[in-house]
């Protein structure tokens, strides 16, 4: 019988804290579509201040936040955006920039650390002389932290260099900062400095920060004015949205300080899992709250079976493939939970290896 639940599928699975629920119940609200919700205004003002941008806007999701941002910068159909081949916008957002916005993606290879080579970015910018046949490059997108490379962090120096390239060619720079606070904490720099070069940033409130719903996009006042209209067009305008924004304010006030602890728990678990025979973790690549666990071929293990065995003990993980599992840490996972998770991995990997060896022995006989 499962007596404990340790949900490591994502940092999006957190439940609202009691403080959040109390803030939601007591939230002062009005019609935000009409621009009158005071709690939404507080949240947007606070985030603009933290990020050192002119203005901010609450939207329902990170996907909508990125879509709005791209469409504001690429307001002419046939525009082109340069982004990583392994980026969230390109892979996991339903192709919205193309299907809805008529924006053409031009991908550049993401390196193992989530970056794109600066020279490759510059080489991908279309020559305006070819506008008769080419799309027009208008935007560069970065992702920080970079999810598909394991939560890797893009440095201030790298981001600034990409920003310089954008300015050189008259382009805009958008940062998909779903976990930008994780990046800032890992680097030990103010989040505002990390996004200084960006014209716009999307910040997910329901990932590392632990709010139940929402994303904030930040940028210039003119950018946000246009973004507000697009939010309405896309169906993202909500009425008494202060109920949600109240929880997000609590998340910003209470949970940013917990990210460093999340990273330490992640590192502990990664180190331990890498010592389990048959599993491999690139420990040096674990910089924030994410771990990719590779099952080595000689171990003769199956990720799906391992995932199901872990679930029997209340450990929930994300299966990426037949040989890869993903774990994401968050503030509602304790150090004891991390220790328990490691012990369950050790137990079931060893058990499954013994079962596989026994089966092979019987087949030989």
What pLDDT digit, counting tens, does each position of 94-118 carry?
999 999 999 999 999 999 999 999 9
Distances (CA, A) of 166 to 16, 82, 171: 39, 10, 5
pTM here? 0.95
- What pLDDT does 1 receive? 57
pLDDT exceeding 90 applies to what percent of the chain?
92
- What pLDDT does 300 receive? 78
Position 50 confidence tier, pLDDT thresholds 50, 70, 90? very high
124-143: average pLDDT: 96
Going from N- to C-terminal start, the domains of the chain cover: 18-256, 258-352
**Residues 227, 207, 174, CA angle at the centre, nearest 5°?**
35
| 258-352: CATH class | alpha beta
d(CA 29, CA 211): 18
Element (H, E) at 261: helix 259-274
Where are any strands of DSSP class E within the chain?
A: 6-7, 55-59, 79-84, 104-108, 136-143, 172-176, 200-204, 215-219, 279-280, 290-295, 315-316, 318-321, 324-328
Contacts of 334 (CB under 8 A, 6+ apart): none
**Mean per-residue pLDDT over the chain, rounded:** 95
d(CA 299, CA 18): 44
Q: Identify which of 17, 40, 97 has the alpha carbon closest to the alpha carbon of residue 216.
A: 40
Helix 180-187 and helix 259-274, axial crossing angle in degrees, nearest 10: 80
Architecture (CATH level 2) of domain 18-256 = 3-Layer(aba) Sandwich (3.40)
What pLDDT digit, counting tens, does each position of 7-33 carry?
999 999 999 999 999 999 999 999 999
- What pLDDT does 119 receive? 98
Three-class HEC string of 299-356: HCCCHHHHHHHHHHCCEECEEEECCEEEEECCCCCCHHHHHHHHHHHHHHHHHHHHHH
**N residues, the chain:** 365
Paired tokens of 117? 């080579």
Task: Please say if the pLDDT value at position 291 is more than 90.
Answer: yes
Task: Please say if the pLDDT value at position 328 is more than 80.
Answer: yes
- What pLDDT does 350 receive? 84
Reduce the DSSP state of residue 7 to 3 states and report it: strand
d(CA 9, CA 155): 26
Cβ count within 10 A of residue 326: 20
The number of helix segments (H) and strand segments (E) in the chain equals: 14, 13
255-260: average pLDDT: 97
């Amino acid at each position: 019988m499962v007596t404990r639940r340790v949900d490591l599928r994502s940092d999006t699975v957190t439940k609202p804290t009691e403080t959040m629920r109390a803030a939601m119940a007591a939230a002062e609200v009005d019609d935000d579509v009409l621009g009158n919700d005071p709690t939404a205004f507080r949240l947007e003002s606070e985030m603009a201040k933290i990020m050192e941008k002119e203005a901010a806007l609450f939207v329902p999701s990170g996907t909508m936040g990125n879509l709005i941002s791209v469409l504001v910068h690429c307001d002419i159909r046939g525009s082109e955006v340069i982004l990583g081949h392994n980026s969230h916008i390109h892979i996991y957002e339903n192709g919205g920039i193309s299907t809805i916005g008529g924006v053409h993606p031009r991908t550049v290879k993401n390196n193992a650390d989530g970056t794109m080579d600066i020279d490759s970015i510059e080489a991908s910018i279309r020559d305006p002389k070819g506008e008769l046949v080419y799309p027009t490059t208008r935007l560069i997108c970065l992702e920080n932290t970079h999810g598909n490379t394991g939560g890797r962090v893009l440095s201030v120096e790298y981001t600034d260099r990409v920003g310089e390239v954008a300015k050189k060619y008259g382009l805009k720079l958008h940062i998909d900062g779903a976990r930008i606070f994780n990046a800032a904490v890992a680097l030990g720099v103010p989040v505002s400095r990390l996004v200084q070069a960006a014209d716009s940033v999307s910040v997910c409130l329901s990932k590392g920060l632990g709010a139940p719903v929402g994303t904030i996009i930040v940028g210039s006042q003119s950018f946000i004015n246009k973004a507000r209209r697009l939010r309405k067009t896309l169906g993202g305008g909500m009425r008494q949205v202060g109920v949600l924004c109240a929880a997000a304010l609590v998340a910003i006030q209470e949970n940013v300080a917990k990210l460093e602890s999340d990273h330490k728990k992640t590192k502990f678990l990664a180190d331990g899992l890498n010592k389990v025979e048959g599993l491999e973790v690139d420990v040096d690549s674990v910089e924030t709250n994410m771990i990719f666990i590779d099952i080595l071929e000689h171990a003769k293990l199956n990720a799906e079976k391992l995932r199901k065995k872990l679930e029997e003990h209340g450990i929930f993980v994300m299966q990426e493939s037949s040989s890869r599992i993903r774990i994401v840490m968050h503030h509602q996972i304790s150090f004891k939970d991390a220790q328990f998770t490691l012990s369950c991995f050790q137990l079931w990997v060893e058990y499954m290896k013994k079962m596989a060896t026994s089966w092979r022995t019987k087949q030989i006989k």
